[in-house]
């Protein structure tokens, strides 16, 4: 199978997304994660743009081994000098230079003629070549340039020693058939094209960045430039995870392989989302929350019988925690019985009917029924508590000139005791977590919190999604409430209950002392 090299520009083009700015330490952490993911090239930043970016590129060049490091530069001597200095300690390095080529860019941005652009491209590629062996050249806005001038620029930089030609769809304008055909024409019509490699760089303004990149691969490119989660300018770039999984899932069609380690995709995606403060859309392919979840009863029934009925990828191979069944008003009895069985609970037909009736009433009101709510309803059906702990009440005192204080009434169903725990923190969520943590002996770490609005208006509800860590494993809890702080408390309690259930394998719910709900 032909291998495609993955060029990751999350730390450069991805960071150019509004609000996604990263500091030096964040870039270094992400660079190590990208290396673990298996990318071939990392573009860590734009060295001339700021002292912080220069430092980040320099440190990444020194710390990251076995991955090519790319310095980014305009066709300007000072840019090239900065990129060369920043990457000088890399085991392998590349210099990536760009220069506008379309008429609209030349007329309104560069204010240069075509002849001046060709001459500038020649001089700057020649200058860069005196420092580094691998020089990548990008004619910016290539897909709106026209073949005649595009060919002229590319032939000029090949003559001066460019080794990789990147033909970018800078504004996401191209259609897949157009983009693939452009590479075909370039490879056939540009003198010296047999001496260089080709790279694709696609933006997603019309939602076709991945499709265009796949078209370029089919046309013969050997490098594809991507970002994690598809972040980047405007609508973003070609999504690394979508491209990698399209090639892997349809390998019989493409005949292409990459060095991407699929099991590292989810962890990398989550880290990029947190550090860039860029939430992932629920319906985002591969790594969106709904990508491997199903609510419809027909789909749930098929999945429980054979996962391949409705899933073309295995989420666990991507490092995604398995949670394929979402319980809502479209769910059936089969899914309910399956879910409670996952928690070690067996229901007879009468108990299942009672649970199903209660469940449907709840689902009609709030759309999705979360696991801790289901366990409460199932507990009523079997007349015993099924969760290790129950959060009976939460009181929070907050204000703008004081530490926040939380008081939580929690029942331990192993002992039957009900106690009140208090906690404090600079924020109300921190105070709630501090209080609940005091009730649980296991060393559970708070890992992540996501908050969403699930309706609109002054009576809107909020959804909290909390992730905790215990013994290097992650557990998630979700809750919905009109009070977002209560939602966060209930979600944290649900996540902790999941973790506690998992580690108490020698004390299953059937073996623990039974305390009735009454």
User: What is the C-alpha separation between 60 and 31, in angstroms, rounded?
Assistant: 7
Report the pLDDT value the prediction gives residue 513, as an integer from 0 to 100: 45
pLDDT in tens, 427-481: 999 999 999 999 999 999 999 898 888 777 777 888 899 999 998 888 889 998 9
Same domain, 235 and 305: no
Instruction: Give the CATH number for residue 244.
Output: 3.20.20.70
Same domain, 410 and 370: no
Report the pLDDT value the prediction gives residue 437, as an integer from 0 to 100: 96
Strands 418-425 and 68-74: unpaired
User: What is the C-alpha separation between 487 and 481, in angstroms, rounded?
Assistant: 5
Task: Judge whether 362 lies within some domain.
Answer: yes
User: What is the C-alpha separation between 273 and 104, in angstroms, rounded?
Assistant: 34
User: What is the C-alpha separation between 327 and 440, in angstroms, rounded?
Assistant: 28
Report the pLDDT value the prediction gives residue 303, as an integer from 0 to 100: 65
Count of domains observed in the chain: 3
Same domain, 242 and 304: no
Same domain, 490 and 362: no
Same domain, 331 and 467: no
Same domain, 362 and 395: no
Task: Judge whether 514 lies within some domain.
Answer: no
Task: Judge whether 261 lies within some domain.
Answer: no
Same domain, 37 and 137: yes
210: enclosing H helix or E strand: helix 209-219
pLDDT in tens, 297-343: 666 667 667 777 778 898 888 888 766 667 777 787 878 888 888 77
Residue 75 · residue 97 · CB < 8 Å: yes
Task: Judge whether 123 lies within some domain.
Answer: yes
Side-chain-side CA neighbours of residue 248 (13 Å): 18
Report the pLDDT value the prediction gives residue 186, as an integer from 0 to 100: 98
Report the pLDDT value the prediction gives residue 323, as an integer from 0 to 100: 62
- pTM reported for the whole predicted model: 0.84
Residue 437 · residue 495 · CB < 8 Å: no
Instruction: Look at the chain and count its residues.
Output: 518
User: What is the C-alpha separation between 340 and 247, in angstroms, rounded?
Assistant: 37
Task: Judge whether 360 lies within some domain.
Answer: yes
Instruction: Give the CATH number for residue 455.
Output: 3.30.160.270
Structure tokens at 70: 């790319």
Report the pLDDT value the prediction gives residue 289, as an integer from 0 to 100: 82
Task: Judge whether 283 lies within some domain.
Answer: no
pLDDT in tens, 17-61: 999 999 999 999 999 999 999 999 999 999 999 999 999 999 999
Examine the fold and report which residue of 333, 359, 382 is the final residue of a domain before the chain moves on. 382
Same domain, 377 and 399: no
Residue 334 · residue 304 · CB < 8 Å: yes
In sequence order, what are the beta bridge partners of 140?
100
Identify the domain containing residue 302 by its residue range: 297-382
DSSP state of 417: -
Q: What is the 3-state secondary structure (H, E, C) of 73-122?
A: EECCHHHHHHHHHHCCCCCCEEEEEEEECCHHHHHHHHCCCHHHHHHHHH
Same domain, 43 and 110: yes
Which of 17, 79, 11, 66 minimizes the C-alpha distance to 44? 11
Same domain, 337 and 410: no
For residue 367, count other CB atoms closer than 10 A to its CB.
Answer: 16
Examine the fold and report which residue of 214, 249, 284 is the final residue of a domain before the chain moves on. 249
Examine the fold and report which residue of 249, 272, 306 is the final residue of a domain before the chain moves on. 249
Strands (DSSP E) found in 327-417? 389-397, 404-412
Task: Judge whether 270 lies within some domain.
Answer: no
Which stretches of the chain score pLDDT less than 70? 294-301, 303-304, 322-325, 505-518
Helix, strand or coil, per DSSP, at residue 473: strand
Same domain, 224 and 369: no
Same domain, 366 and 428: no
């Amino acid at each position: 199978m032909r291998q495609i090299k993955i060029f990751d520009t999350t730390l450069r083009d991805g960071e150019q997304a509004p609000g996604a700015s990263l500091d030096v330490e964040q870039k270094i952490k992400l660079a190590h994660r990208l290396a673990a993911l298996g990318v071939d090239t990392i573009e860590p930043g734009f060295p001339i743009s700021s002292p912080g970016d220069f430092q980040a590129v320099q440190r990444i060049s020194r710390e990251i081994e076995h991955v090519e490091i790319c310095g980014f530069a305009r066709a300007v001597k000072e840019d090239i000098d900065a990129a060369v200095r920043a990457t000088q300690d890399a085991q392998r390095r590349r210099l990536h230079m760009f220069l506008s080529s379309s008429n609209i860019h030349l007329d309104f941005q560069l204010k240069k003629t075509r002849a001046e652009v060709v001459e500038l491209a020649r001089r700057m590629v020649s200058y860069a070549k005196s420092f580094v062996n691998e020089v990548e050249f990008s004619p910016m806005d290539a897909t709106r340039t026209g073949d005649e001038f595009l060919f002229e620029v590319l032939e000029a930089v090949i003559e001066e020693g460019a080794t990789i030609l990147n033909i970018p769809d800078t504004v996401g304008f191209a259609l897949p058939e157009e983009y693939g055909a452009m590479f075909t024409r370039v490879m056939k019509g540009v003198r010296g094209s047999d001496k260089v490699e080709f790279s694709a760089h696609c933006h997603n303004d019309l939602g076709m960045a991945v499709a265009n990149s796949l078209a370029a691969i089919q046309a013969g490119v050997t490098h594809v430039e991507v970002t994690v989660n598809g972040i980047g300018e405007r609508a973003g770039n070609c999504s690394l995870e979508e491209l990698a999984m399209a090639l892997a899932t349809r390998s019989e069609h493409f005949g292409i392989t990459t060095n991407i380690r699929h099991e590292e995709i989810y962890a990398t995606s989550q880290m990029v989302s947190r550090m860039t403060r860029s939430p992932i859309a629920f319906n985002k392919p591969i790594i969106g929350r709904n990508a491997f979840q199903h609510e419809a009863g027909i789909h749930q029934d098929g999945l429980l019988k054979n996962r391949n009925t409705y899933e073309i990828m295995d989420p666990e191979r991507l490092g995604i925690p398995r949670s394929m069944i979402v319980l809502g008003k479209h769910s059936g009895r089969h899914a309910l019985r399956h879910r409670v069985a996952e928690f070690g609970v067996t229901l007879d037909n009468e108990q299942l009917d009672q649970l199903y009736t209660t469940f449907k009433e709840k689902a009609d009101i709030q759309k999705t029924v979360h696991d801790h709510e289901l366990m409460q309803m199932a507990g009523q059906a079997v007349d015993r508590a099924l969760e290790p702990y129950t959060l009976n009440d939460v009181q929070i005192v907050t204000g703008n000139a004081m530490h926040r204080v939380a008081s939580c009434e929690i029942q331990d169903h192993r002992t039957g005791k009900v106690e009140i725990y208090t906690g404090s923190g600079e924020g109300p969520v921190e105070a709630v977590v501090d209080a609940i943590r005091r009730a649980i002996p296991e060393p559970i770490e708070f890992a992540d919190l996501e908050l969403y609005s699930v309706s609109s208006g002054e009576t809107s509800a909020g959804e909290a999604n909390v992730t905790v860590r215990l013994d290097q494993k992650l557990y998630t809890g979700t809750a919905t409430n009109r009070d977002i702080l209560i939602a966060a408390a209930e979600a944290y309690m649900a996540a902790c209950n999941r973790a506690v259930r998992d580690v108490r394998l020698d004390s299953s719910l059937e073996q623990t002392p039974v305390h009735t709900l009454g």
